[in-house]
Chains A and B, each alone.
Chain A
Amino acid sequence: MSIPSVLRAQTAPTDARTVRMVMGDLSTFDPIVTTATMTGNHGLAIYDMLFSLDSKLIPQPQMVGKWAVSDDKKAYTFELRDGLGWHDGTPVTATDCVASIRRWGQVPSGGKLIMERASDISAQDDKTFIISLKEPMGLLIEILAGAVTPVLYIMREKDASLAATEQVTANIGSGPFKFNHALAKPGASFTYDRNEKYVPRHEPTDGFAGGKVVNVDRVIWENITDQQTAFAALQAGEVDFHLLPPADLYPAIESDTNLALQVLNKAGDVYFMRMNCLQKPFDNVKARQAMLHLIDQEAFMRTSFPAEYTRTITSFFGNQTPYTNDENTGWYKKGGDQEKAKQLVKEAGYAGEKVVILQRTDWAEAGNCAQLLAVTLRKIGVNAELAPGDSALNGARLRNKGSVENDGWSIFITSESDYERSTTLSNPTLTANGEQGWWGWPQSDEYEALRAKWANVETLEERQALAREMQRIQWDIAGTVLLGSVLSPIARRKTLTGLIEMPSLTAMWNMQKVPA
């Protein structure tokens, strides 16, 4: 159709050196102060890491050039590679790394463990620093390389000197992209410019490891909150990438010859629910075990996702991690087992107490699962009630350990990447340390004792054996109940290629736009 040229000029697709990505809201800049995935993605763009995971999830040196461990395995020496510099033009030094480790070490449990075990973390010269341990710690490098938020991103010493709860907003890193402050519109869009001074490693890109080669000049994150508009913008070529297209748009995306769906996180995300183990009825382990038997994972995943993108899951440690196993998974039955669940609820002495399920109103998939859960619970005679609320409302209510009569809660639903379920030392959702632990507060001293051994064992086989034992306990105490696994694809224009397929976070290097 012929159109006025002035209009045509304004609706042309984005240029070949700029990639526009619909990513969601980046509300917090500091990747240490939050576990938010968007902040993790932001960190991945502007900061660099000492070690990074390759596509097989094996740590590889990134900022580190050479490293060595002493014969007694208590002292690790790291030497930074050449060419590392901050976006403000100053060089990256070992002192920056030490300060960053110390700040990060206050937040995730893996970092805390390093700080507990470390007798000294100090710079030897501008490029060398050491971590001295009181006792050997076989998993040190794995913890430093972890991609579970909060990730150990290296910051300038002056930023890393802030308290771990005080936000760093300078956004000056040494990574392959520079944050463009002038074009930042919080809540709307953020712009990342290629760091032309970044020196990539010589190895080819491999997962988050290898050379971080940036093939575009600029990446713009758009926060298009309306999914239909985001899809229309993708169709029209106004954006190139959509991180989380809703499943009901998959057929429309697949039918458009210019668009493609691509699963970047091949292992997927795990949906699970937690019960309040401190209050009735889930203070009784049999009531929690009833939930294991009750759940029809396929039905729960069908509430939001097409069958070809979902998987059932029985291992506490995820579907595709080195620690996936089948220990104590006899509870699983295709379609669920309502009779068994009903029997266990009865054995738990359930007397009609109200069960309050927190239902997310700003997260459709979790909200759908909550609705199905309420219906399923009512079918076995449980007095289930939904409590709708947004993230902030649920977040405040989760803190309440009290009964539902006192505004407490019984069940909530969340998700995390399959990979995260293998990060036993860093992930709070994998703890069972009672009221000191994560929401739901399941407790097993035996499990925690095994978890404490995790960092000490030397070999993968030993950790796999530990994982089997830990899983046996977890499915006995049933603090967590799995709802299924989903492979959420991103949507992209076919002209955007080279996306890195990794779990948890989305990298922006390596991608490029090719002519249509």
Chain B
Amino acid sequence: MNVLVCVKRVPAPGAKINITADGQAVDTAYLAFTTSPHEECAVEAAVQLVEAHGGEATVMTLGPTEAEEQLRYAASVGAAKCVLLPIDGADWDPQRTAQALATAIAGVEAANGPFDLILFGNESADSGNFQVGVRVAHALGRPIVNGVKGIEVDGDAVRARREADAGVEVYRLPLPAVLGIKEGINLPRYPTMKGRLAAKKAEVAQVAPEGEPGGQQMVTLVQPPVTVTETVILGHGPDAAPAVVDLLEELGLLK
């Protein structure tokens, strides 16, 4: 089973997200970068599918050349091939990103044969546009379901499980298919020393991204209005317990 995972390099903010002076981006001067969390789980899911059913996992990203770091991380935990669609400067809008990914995927498939399964994260942690996976699936003429927290190969189809307000929903998608993965589907493994060494040597294929700008264009990032909270310190250590229970009584929680 050949599986493709599309990932995004995103900043890993701590307690506050700072914006650059021109308002065009998150100020990453003091931030590390990571793979968007849902996609980290998608990579793990792909590697597990390959371990169970054979084939290989490929990882693809559209982003700055530094996103090679996220591709190599995926290689260190089991992805066999890496494809980078390098862009300069700001993020591409979701329509443009989807167009470039769909074109690149079609190119890779023309050369190497079709992917049985393509995995996306449910949404990216930073921009959260909730649409790139669906647009790519539609461009490729394949079914997609988002929010997936369980995958089971079932003959020439895949059973996908997701959580909804009312309970768990199960879908059965004929292969080839596309799934939007949510964190919680698995606990991603850590790279082994052997994996790290292999990742250093992994070949990263570059494909020039092709996409026309879409109708949604970012103007600026803005901090949400800050509600300044004056924290009331109830006390220090276990001696504060009576004050806490007073609060529970006040809130009607001590029934």
Q: Do A and B bind each other?
A: no
